[in-house]
A and B are shown apart, each in its own frame.
Chain A
Amino acid sequence: MEKKEERKVKVQVRNLTKYYGKLLVLDNISFNVYDGEFLCVVGPTGCGKTTFLNILSGLIPATSGGIYIDGEPASPYKHNISYVFQLPSCIPWRTVLDNIKFGLEIKGMPKDEIEKRVEKIIKLIGLKDFLNYYPKQLSTSMQQRVAIARAFVTDPDLLLMDEPYGQFDVKLRIYLEDELLRIWEKLKKTVIFVTHNLEEAVYLAERILVLTQKPTHIRSEVNVDLPHPRKVTDPEFVKIRTQITELVKWW
């Protein structure tokens, strides 16, 4: 990975504000995300993390403020933005292979390019033996891996992840997180990963944004300068985790 200071800014969020009727949810949020960065956003339940991701992905509009990718307003027509949801979102009538291809087919990519990209992602994620399975034949964790493969294969400018591992036990979670980090390190994609699991945030992130309760703004930013893979029982890890826990104690 390039040194952080040498990375250019990939995503700019400027004065992002969202009202639902009279309820102010997101309050004038501004921050940058660097090219290829793994950024975690932590916040209390109900603070608007999912609203935040929905605005970033273009699914709902902001009330005011904007998001810029490579200096231009973020647009699904111009930019590739992938979104992995909390619960598996595989298309049930498509096989694993056809699920992964889906985004590329929508973009009208030529067949041989699709084959090439899909092969590349399958090498990175353990789905080789399951390509002809249907989602309902797989465990929930396997389905999530399909969703993640599908998200990365489109070569996204920005990959949004909304607590995709929330329901899994810790050992399985660490296995999946290690896999995610391997893919991220290889493909060098920009990731915004939302969670309220502080240990998970410290395990994954290069940088963590801590949000407040509604009306939500950024409380702090913490850099995590530990090499991957990290160990949750290491004193350095525990130190950072305790620091973040103090920051959210008042949630």
Chain B
Amino acid sequence: MQYKIVCEHISKIYESAGRKLLVLDDISFSVRENEFLVLLGPGGCGKTTLLYIIEGLVKPTTGRVLLDGKEIQGPGVDRGIVFQHFALLPWKTVLENVEFGLKIRGVPKEERIRISKELIEIVGLKGFENYYPHELSGGMQQRVGIARAYASNPEVLLMDEPFGHVDAQTRYYMQKEILRIWEKLKKTVIFVTNNIEEAIYLGDRVIVLSKLPAKIKATFDIELPRPREYTDPDFLKIREEISEQTEFAL
């Protein structure tokens, strides 16, 4: 079986003022097509760097990333990304933000508006097409980010702690939403988070990263049927097991 994404021996060293900082230490893993994979690690461990390497925004010091068997060379429309801080263009409406990638690629107006409106409806923002980001709540802005990422019909969706900057209640709601959208549109997803509960709620599989320099500490297959319940005894049991493996840094 060919894997959708393969990371081979990825290491990353950042140099600054003559000092070297090893951030990622020989990380290898594979992702199946349409799998919802979660990378779980403590704050500051380097998991965003790893995601940016898969996205092609950052070059690894050693190792490589394969997408459908071909080595990636840099950013591309085949990988969509949802950022922590939403990263919407503030001077563009919801619709203009979602269609942006399509516009750059020269997709004709009628088609890109159709695609964008469909996605805006799927993420639950029908009626908000002409709103500006500052008129939306955090959760709504992140949904625009998700619609935008799906709009270019990427092969893989990368999500960098997308719910880190919304309040706890909105976060729970967004976790349900992201699964609803994923179950409807499918796609291979690599989702980064520092929240154990969120990782178990969402993932088919959870890879636990150590603190800096990040290494793979453990992998857990989550075989619970969806929708999952945070307070379910099986869920809590897995949460304890994963908690044993997670580190944190002061």
Contacts and interface: CB of A to CB of B under 8 A. Distances in A.
Indicate, yes or no, whether A interacts with B.
yes
Interface string A225-251: 000000011000010011000001001
Interface residues of A, number: 24
Nearest to A142: B250
A189 B130 CA distance: 51
Given A44-B169, A196-B167, A248-B169, A172 B250 contact: yes
B247 A170 contact: no
Contact of A45 (B43, B169, B240, B249): B169
Given A139-B44, A242-B231, A169 B239 contact: no
Nearest to A234: B236
Interface residues on B, range: 20 to 34
A168 B43 contact: yes
Interface stretch (B70-78, B85-93, B193-201): B193-201
Contact of B195 (A44, A45, A169, A232): A169
A77 B67 CA distance: 65
B169 A175 contact: no
A73 interface: no
B47 to A, nearest CB: 11
Contacts of B43: 141, 167-169, 172
A196 B231 CA distance: 18
A220 interface: no
Given A169-B195, A248-B169, A238 B236 contact: yes
Given A170-B197, A172-B249, A45 B42 contact: no
Contacts, number: 54
B175 interface: no
Nearest to B139: A45
Interface string A156-171: 0000000000011111
A242 B232 CA distance: 11
A126 interface: yes
Nearest to B43: A169
Nearest to A140: B43
Contacts of A141: 43, 250
B248 interface: yes
B250 A241 contact: no
A175 B247 CA distance: 11
A126 B250 contact: yes
Given A126-B250, A233-B239, A172 B42 contact: yes
A53 interface: no
Given A233-B236, A233-B239, A238-B236, A169 B168 contact: no
A169 B250 contact: no
A32 interface: no
B149 to A, nearest CB: 24
Interface string B160-193: 0000100111100000000000000000000000
A197 interface: yes
B195 A170 contact: yes
A138 to B, nearest CB: 9
Contacts of A56: none
13 contacts: A139-B249, A167-B164, A168-B43, A170-B195, A171-B243, A171-B247, A172-B42, A196-B168, A197-B168, A198-B168, A233-B240, A238-B236, A241-B231
